[in-house]
Amino acid sequence: MIRENPIRPGAPMILALVLSALSALPQPEDPPPTAFVGARIHTVNGPPIEDGTLIVVGSKIVAVGPASETAAPAGAKIIDASGKTIIPGLICTHSHLGGTAGADGSGPIQPDVRVSDSLNVRDSGYRRALAGGLTTLNCMPGSGHLLSGQTAYLKLRPANTIEDMFILDPNGEPMGGMKMANGTNSMRGGAFPGTRGRSAALVRKQFIAAQEYARKVEAAAGDPEKMPNRHIGLEALGEVLSGKRIVHHHTHRHDDIITVLRLSKEFNFRVVLHHVSEAWKVADEIAAAGAPCSVIVIDSPGGKLEAIDVAFRTGGVLERAGVNVAFHTDDGITDSRLFLRSAALAVRAGMTREGALRALTLSGAEMMDLQDRTGSLVPGKDADFAILDGDPFSVYTKILETWVEGERRFDRSDPQDRLYAEGGYGATHEQDPYFCCFGDDNQGDQD
Amino acid sequence: MGRHLTFTLGALALLAPLAPAQVAVRGEVIHTLAGPPLENGVVLIRDGKIAEIGPADAVQIPAGFEVLDAAVVTPGLVDARSVVGVAGYYNQKKGDQEQHEDSSPVQPELRALDAYNPREALVHWVCSFGVTTVQTGHAPRELVPGQLFIVKTVPTTADDAAVRPFSAVAATLSNAAKRSDKSSPGTRAKMMSMLRSKLIEAQEYASKRDAAEEDNLPPRDLALEAMCAVLDGDVPMIVTAHRAQDIASALRLGREFNFKLILDGASEAYLMLDEIKGAGVPIILHPSMKRASGDAENLSFETAARLEQAGIPFSIKSGFESYVPKTRVILFEAAIAASHGLGFDAALRSVTIDAARILGVEDRVGSLEVGKDGDLALYDGDPFEYTSHCVGTVIEGAVVARGERGQSAGTPVGPNKKR
C-alpha cells in the first residue's frame, strides 16, 4: 500500500484524488493522463503491488495502487504493462558520464571548479545510462584531488545544453554536491599531499579558511564595503558548511573512512561516504555517525592497494548495521547498463531484496536531497521509472523502457536505443548533433 | 598429472585438512557437457580422475568418500585467456605486475611459467567461483609480449599446477602495441612487418637447424625456438585484435605463414563472420562486460550469440584489466552473454568444453566423463543467475574452495555428516 497520499477504495474517492492532483498542475497545458496497467509495481514505498496501476499526468505521478483500487480516469491513455515489472528510475549517486572533468593538476583543493562546465550532453554514455534504467545522476569530477569541485545532479532529460539536464532548487539554482577524496588517489606528491596526515591537514586548513570567509560575509550583513573579496571556491565551501551542499567523499580503507567521519564532525558538514571498500570493517562506527554510504560493487578485489578487501557483502553488512545504503556505477568503472547487477550481487552476499532496490532508488535520492521529487513511485513525485520484463535482480531480465518526468527516453524496441543497450558498431560514438531544422535526410550525412 | 597429483594433494592437505583424494559429488542437476543434463546424479572421483558418473540410484558411493551436495554441478570452468597469477591484485608495478615486460616489443621467449604466482589472491578468487583451469601469461600490450601456459588454479607450484607449460605465443595487433617513443612499432603496418620478419627469421632458423648435423647446430635462440613452435604447429599464436581491420590482418598473417591462429578479443568479429569462419579460426572472445573504449569501442553484449549462430567455435575469457576489477570472472562474463542471446547451454559450453577444445586440453578437462580430471564446480542454483552462489570447487578430487571467497551468504559445502 501507498503510505503517502493513500488511495483508498471507492471509485469516486479515487477520481476525486486524481482530480485534486490534476488541479495542482498547470491546467491549460495538461496532457491527458497515461495509465500503466497490469504491472507488478515496486513503489519502494511499501510492498510490491501485483496487478498495479500507475497513473502519470505530464511529468508527475498522480496515482499508484492495485488495479482494484486505482481506476484510470476517463480519457486516459492506457498502456498495457501486464506481465511487466515497474520500478522507480534508478539513481546513480556517483557517475563520471559526459566527459566529466573538474579540478586540474595545479593543486589538490579546487572547490571553485564546477563539473557542469565540462559536461557534453551528446555523450553516448547518457544514452547507455537510460538503457540501464537510470533517470538521475550525480555527475562528479574525479578522485585525484582532496577536493575536486562541485558536482552536478542531473535528470536524463532530452538536452541541447547541460542546463536542460539540471535539477533546480527552489531558488532556481542548479543542485549539486562537493566532491572530496582521501586515500592514495590524491597522494601524488608535488603540490599534492604525499601522506594521509598531510591530506587531512590540508583539508582542515581549507575548511578553517571557509569558516573565516563565512564569518566575514555574515559580519558584513550585506554591506558591500565590509564584504571580503569574492572567492567562488570559499563561497561553495560555505554552502557545504551551511548544509546546503552535501560532500560526496571518495574513501576506501577503514581508517580513511574514519578520517572522513572525524572531519565531518569537526566541521559539521553533511557527508555521503562513497565506494567504502572496507566499510564492512567499521559498519558500527559509520552507523553511529549517521553517515550514509554509497557502495561500489566490483567483480574482484584489488587493482589498487586500498581496494584489496572490497567485498560483495558490504551492502548487506551496512544494511544490518542500520546504515542508509545506496549503490553507484562510478561509470566508466562499472557500466550503467548493468547497474541493477551491482545491487543483485549485494543480494547474492546477504543484502535484502527490498534494501537493495531502495539502495538503487530512494536512498540515492536521499543522498542528494531529492527524496521529495524522485526515488519512489508515489503521487506527487516525478514520473521517473523503468519497465522491466522480469525480476529486477535476475541476469535474464531486460529493461524495456525508461521514463523520465513522464517522457519515454528509452525504448528497447527502437533500433537506435537497442544499439545503446547492447553495444555494437557506432554505439559509443558521440550522439548525433541536435537537428532542429534540416530534416532527417541530413542525419549522418555522407560525402 | 600422474606424478604431480601427489604433490598437489600433499600441498592442499596442508591448506584444507578435510580434502581427501576420494570425493563423491551429488547434484540435483549435473551438466556433464558430454550429453544431456543428468538429474539426481553422482560423480565419483578416485585418485583425481572421474571414475564413475551416473544416476544416484545406480552409483554406489564407497565408504570413506567425502560427499558433497549441490543443486547444480558443472565441469570446472576453463578460462581461455587470462593474466591471473601473473598480474597480481595489489597492482604494484614493482611488486606483483609481471604481465608486461616493456624492454622490447618482441619477446616470445618470455615464459609464463616463470612469471606465475600460484598463491596469488586472484587465482583463488576465480577458483572460488568455479574456475579450475586458466590459460594465463603475458598481457596483450607489446607486439609479442611472451608466452602463455595452461594451469590449474591450485596453490602449489607453477610446475606442479601446469597442464601445459607452454601453450601459446601471444601477439597483439592493436593500438596497445604501439610504442610511445621513437621505437617500433609505431604503426599498424609496422606491426605486421615486424611479425613477418620474425616469422621469416624463425623459418630460416628452422631450416638451418634441420639441415645441420648434431655437432653443427646453429647457436640456440630462445625467441626463435618459440616462434618455430608456432610454425611447426606445436602451439598456436593467439593474436589479440579488436577492430575488423586488425582481425583481417591477423587472418592475413595466418594465411601467409600457415600457423595455428586463434583470434583473441575480437570485438568486431560480428563484422567478419564469413572471413573468420572461412579461415576456420576459433575465437577467444573479450569479456562481455569489457569497457567499450579504444580499439574495443564497438563491442557488443551480443557478439557471443552472433558467433554461436555463425557456427564459429569460441570461448569467453576474463582477459586483462589494468585497474579494477583486477581480474574478471568468466562465470559472470558468460552469464551476461547467456542473457544477451546466447542462452544457458551455449554459454556454459563456451566456458567449459568449447574452451577446452580451443586450448587443446579436452582430453583432460571441460566435461564430466570417466577418465577425465575430477574438476567440478558446485552451485546452489543456476550458475549464471546473479543471486546464485558457487558453493564448492573441486580440482582433481581435492576440494579447493568451499564457497565464494570473502563472501558471507550462501552455504558452503562441507563434509556430509550423515556419512
pLDDT tens for residues A139-180? 999 999 999 999 999 999 999 999 999 999 999 999 999 999
Helices B222-231 & B188-211 angle (0-180, nearest 10): 90
- The predicted complex's ipTM stands at 0.93
Contact state of B326 with A394 under an 8 Å Cβ cutoff: no
Whether residue B342 lies within 8 A of chain A, CB to CB, comes out as no
Q: Could you tell me how many CB contacts below 8 A there are between chain A and chain B?
A: 134
- On whether any CB of chain B is under 8 Å from the CB of A335, the answer is yes
Q: What is the mean pLDDT of chain B?
A: 92
Q: How many residues would you count in chain B?
A: 419
B275 dihedral zone (left: phi>0; alpha: psi -120 to 50; beta): alpha
Q: Which of A278, A335, A388, A395 is best to mutate for the B interface (most B CBs within 10 A)?
A: A395
What is d(CA B150, CA B164) in angstroms, rounded to the nearest whole number?
A: 5
User: CATH for A11-89+391-422, among 3.20.20.140, 3.40.190.10, 3.30.930.10, 2.30.40.10?
Assistant: 2.30.40.10
* Average predicted confidence (pLDDT) for chain A: 91
Indicate whether A97 pLDDT > 70.
Answer: yes
Element (H, E) at A256: helix A254-267
Task: Dihedral sign for Cα A130, A41, A366, A7, please.
Answer: positive
- The x, y and z cell numbers of residue B6, run together, are 601427489
Please tell me which of the candidates B271, B325, B385 has its beta carbon nearest to residue A300.
B325
Closest CA to A135 of A179, A82, A86, A171: A86
Banded pLDDT at B159 (limits 50, 70, 90): very high
Looking at residue B233, what is its pLDDT? 98
C-alpha cell at B334: 558468460
State the DSSP string of B177-206: G--SSSSSP-SHHHHHHHHHHHHHHHHHHH
Residue B227 has pLDDT above 70, yes or no: yes
- A 10 A CB-CB count for A441 gives 8
Percent of chain A with pLDDT over 70: 89
Per-residue CA distances from B159 to A39, A413, B127, B131 (Å):
58, 53, 18, 19
Nearest-angstrom CA–CA distance, A20 and B15 = 69
Q: Are A25 and A60 in contact (CB under 8 A)?
A: yes
Do B168 and B144 touch, CB atoms closer than 8 A? no
* Rg (alpha carbons) of chain B, rounded to whole number: 21
Give the domain ranges of chain A. 11-89+391-422, 90-372
Residues 284-313 of B with CB under 8 A from A: 289, 291-293, 297-302
Q: Does an H or E element contain A424, and which?
A: none
Nearest partner of A136 among A430, A382, A421, judged by Cα: A382
State the pLDDT at residue A28: 54
pLDDT in tens, A216-231: 999 999 999 999 999 9
Q: From CA A313, how far away is CA B404, in angstroms rounded?
A: 11
CATH number of A90-372: 3.20.20.140
DSSP string, A276-330: -TTGGGSHHHHHHHT--EEE---SSS-SSGGGTT--TTHHHHHHHHT--EEE--T
B89–A395 CB contact, under 8 Å: no
How far is A380 from A136, CA to CA, in rounded Å? 17
For the full predicted model, state whether its pTM sits above 0.90.
yes
Helical segments of B212-352, H only: 222-231, 244-257, 273-279, 303-310, 330-337, 344-350
Helix (H) or strand (E) holding A225: none
Q: Which residue has the higher pLDDT, B339 or A442?
A: B339
In CATH, B77-359 is 3.40.50.1820 = no
Q: In chain A, what residues touch B408 (CB-CB under 8 Å)?
A: 313, 316-317, 349-350
Q: In this structure, what C-alpha cell is assigned to residue A363? A: 536512498
Instruction: List all residues 6 or more positions away from B129 whose beta carbon is below 8 Å from its beta carbon.
Output: B77, B329, B331, B332, B377, B390, B393, B404
Q: What angle do CA A290, A295, A298 make, to 5 degrees?
A: 160
Answer whether the bond into residue B185 is a cis peptide, omega within 30°.
Answer: yes
Q: How many residues does chain A have?
A: 447
Domain limits, chain B: 3-75+367-401, 77-359
In the block, cell 545491487 appears at A343
Task: Give the dihedral of Cα atoms B82, B85, B91, B97; nearest 10 deg.
Answer: -90
Residue the block writes with cell 496487478: A51
Query: Which of B397, B375, B373 lies closest to B22 in space, CA to CA?
Result: B397
A301: which chain B residues are within 8 Å (Cβ-Cβ)?
A: 89, 121-122, 125, 326, 406
State the smallest CA–CA distance between residue A427 and chain B in angstroms.
6
**Interface touch B332/A348, C-beta < 8 Å:** no
Chain B residues lying within 8 Å of A313, measured CB to CB: 406-409
Note the pLDDT of residue B413: 54
Burial of residue B172, with CB atoms counted within 10 A of its CB: 0-12 exposed, 13-18 middle, 19 or more buried: buried
To the nearest whole angstrom, how far is the Cα of A352 from the nearest Cα of chain B?
Answer: 11
Q: What is the pLDDT of residues A32-63, one digit of tens each?
A: 999 999 999 999 999 999 999 999 999 999 99
CA–CA separation, B388 vs A395, rounded Å?
A: 10
Q: For the domain made up of B3-75+367-401, give the CATH fold.
A: Urease, subunit C; domain 1 (2.30.40)
Whether residues A423 and B388 touch (CB distance < 8 A) is answered with no
Rounded to an integer, what distance in angstroms lies between the CA atom of residue B192 and that of residue B187? Answer: 9
Q: Which letter, b or e, does each residue of B342-368 get, where b requires 16 or more Cβ atoms within 10 Å of its Cβ?
A: bbbebbbbbbbbbbbbbbebbebbbbb
Q: Is the dihedral of CA B5, B7, B8, B14 positive or negative?
A: positive
**Partners of residue B410 in chain A, C-beta under 8 Å:** 348
Binary contact (A426, B298; C-beta < 8 A): yes
* Confidence category of residue B2, pLDDT binned at 50, 70, 90: very low
pLDDT class of B181 with cuts at 50, 70, 90: confident
The mean pLDDT value for B338-363 works out to 98
Contact indicator for B401, B128 with CB cutoff of 8 Å: yes
CA atoms of B224 and B213, how far apart (whole Å): 19
Record: contact A313-B406, CB cut-off 8 A: yes
| Chain A residues close to B412, C-beta within 8 Å | none
List, in order, residues 6 or more apart from B23 with CB less than 8 Å away: B44, B45, B65, B66, B67, B68, B374, B394, B397, B398, B399
* Beta strand pairing call for A152-155 and A134-139: antiparallel
Task: Tell me the one-letter amino acid at A388.
Answer: L
Angle between helix A415-422 and helix A124-131 axes, rounded to 10 deg: 90
Residue B149 scores a pLDDT above 70: yes
Q: Are B328 and A305 a contacting pair at CB < 8 A?
A: no
Confidence of residue B182 (pLDDT cuts 50, 70, 90): confident
Residue B306 pLDDT: 98
Query: Tell me, what's the pLDDT at B21?
Result: 72
| Residue A206 pLDDT exceeds 80 | yes
Contact A407, A103 (CB under 8 A): no
Q: Are strands A178-181 and A271-275 parallel, antiparallel or unpaired?
A: unpaired
Q: What is the dihedral of CA B15, B20, B24, B27, to 10 degrees?
A: -10
